[in-house]
Structure 1
């Protein structure tokens, strides 16, 4: 669980308090592929009368446009109007050619679906890393340092995963993506279950397969996100669809962060959801013999082949987390008594042959903080080393898998 509060604000309050948009990370989709960061910056400065800080600008998976992540330095009436409408039309003379449909910049802060944070040039692209956040989290905010702007998946990892000697030494080789979904706890109207959320994640993965540009895939999953990964991979393994099988063969490694394979402590969280429609989702991941978790434990080890054909690394928290408690204004805050939300045994109980030290790693953080790293963070260095090893191994295993498939077709 990332937090009861996330990057997603109250949309009404956002425009009652002009300063609330400042420092908030927005996603801007629909950026023309011909545009550079300078092009986007000058366009937004002119239209919004506010200077943007652009954190990333990358080609999207579908290949039609680019997506940016950015913050604004100060407010203006023009900016408020744009963020209220959430669209900004691009004049035809600023496009490289006449579009086949209306061209707009689309603003949001929910980050639903896939967002590409970094994409290397096609000739350097060797691996895909796709991250998915946890319960009550936010696709972008969950991986951003607390009270800071550093988002390690965007600001550090692309430049730390580079080619080896003889193969693009020192050159970034990984496309970095995040996947967002609705997982809020308080005042939530969604009654989706793990299968429903897994279906959405499945669709996002298929968009990569259909675009035909994917490479060996490394999945990074926090908390509930890891169960969604397991649900999706089980679904892929049970499918005889060609695109699904391509995706399954492409997945080599997974980094699970505080994933409740055997359940988590949901006692304080139940009070937040009450009898809301999302109560069933929460109860399904509790540590009281959940049937769905038992099914995942039985079926997941079969999805990616046997020992040596893939690799799963499990990270576990070693600091207790504050639990949910109402404050003096009757709002839920994570200020209650501390507890271990996901135990070491639950977080590391994944595949039976991966129980050695090379497959598990302690992160000296709380459940929420274990995927939030600052610049020059020693805990990040632990994670980086494990991810680098997954990337190195992924290419070799992928080549062997494809060769075996080709041999079977002959």
Structure 2
């Protein structure tokens, strides 16, 4: 096989750093990285693990289908209501800064900071990635700026780009958590509300960045948005409505599941998995094609040209080939492109 799965351990409190899911073999050039970023109250592993089958698809399925890439996850403390410990007080910018700086440093240390990077993000994780790329853009440190320069594509899964009014359903739980545990983080919940000024500013800055790179730098970032097709039974509605999960004019695809189900796949035949895998494959295949030398007119001319025979005059002196005298005047065959 072209990869080596690494053992994983599920934990509630996460260290904020990238973690390999596949370890590259020494004899392979795995020059493309795919990194998974979880969402609200999520976890670097449980977010992507199917409850019934226990399949952790970024590790159990994807390396078999995309053997030529590095696959990683990034964990951060997104427990805003303190269900397992003291609630995180970090803001969205804090999480984005942590992702940008820690991932950039890790890539620099591993000498992969210029390798193409693809993000797969669920829910709030998509906003964290957007914030991280904005921080990368404005950084004065070259290794942090490399993060944006290396990002080639992003898959958003149920990310509330325009907010979600269902976030209000969690506020009572946050209030209860504050009473019991003395800790809560309502700032992120307020950010997710439709009409949030902070969320609107984030989206405006993110789209401005995309437009600037496309028009002025001729560097585009591919994007595909996946949105939930089914409501959550308890609230009888979708957590993130389709219009909020979609970014025009980028392509979008539905996944037959609700917000919690849409990022957990029990087998590699799940239609949701095949759609996400297909989009990743397309981006990776395009990167491979772009890395191949173009067969333009000059390349074709060089390929089809024949050696031209011409006379080398020595002017009466000896002509050397290596340390041997080859004669006074000698005919030499050489490759020379046509004028």
Give the TM-score, by structure 1 length. 0.62
Aligned length: 270
Q: Tell me the residue number matched to 1:383.
A: 276
Counterpart secondary structure, 1:303: helix
The whole-number CA distance in structure 1 between the counterparts of 2:75 and 2:225 is 21
Structure 1 residue 204 corresponds to structure 2 residue 102 = yes
Secondary structure of residue in 2 paired with 1:130:
strand
Q: CA deviation at 1:393?
A: 2.2
Unaligned runs of 5+ in 1: 1-54, 58-67, 72-107, 162-171, 323-335, 401-410
The answer as to 2:221 corresponding to 1:310 is: yes
Distance 2:291 2:240 in 1: 32
Shift of 1:396: 5.3
1:190 counterpart residue number: 88
Which of 249, 253, 257 is residue 157 of structure 2 equivalent to? 257
After TM superposition, the score normalised by the length of structure 2 is 0.74
Number of the residue aligned with 1:272: 173
Are residues 1:319 and 2:230 paired? yes
Equivalent residue number for residue 48 of structure 2:
143
Post-superposition offset of 1:347: 0.3
Q: Which residue does 1:342 correspond to in 2?
A: 240
Q: Does 1:180 align with 2:75?
A: yes
The change in CA–CA distance for 1:230 and 1:399 in structure 2 (over 3 A counts) is: farther
Deviation, 1:301, is 2.1
Structure 1 segments, 4+ long, off by >6 Å, are: none
Gaps of 5+ in 2: 294-339
Task: Report the aligned-residue RMSD.
Answer: 2.2
Are residue 366 (structure 1) and residue 258 (structure 2) matched?
yes
Partner of 2:18: 114
Is 1:394 the counterpart of 2:287? The answer is yes
Structure with max Cα Rg:
2
C-alpha distance in 2, partners of 1:208/1:159? 24
- Quickly say closer, same or farther: Cα 1:249–1:283, change in 2 above 3 A: same
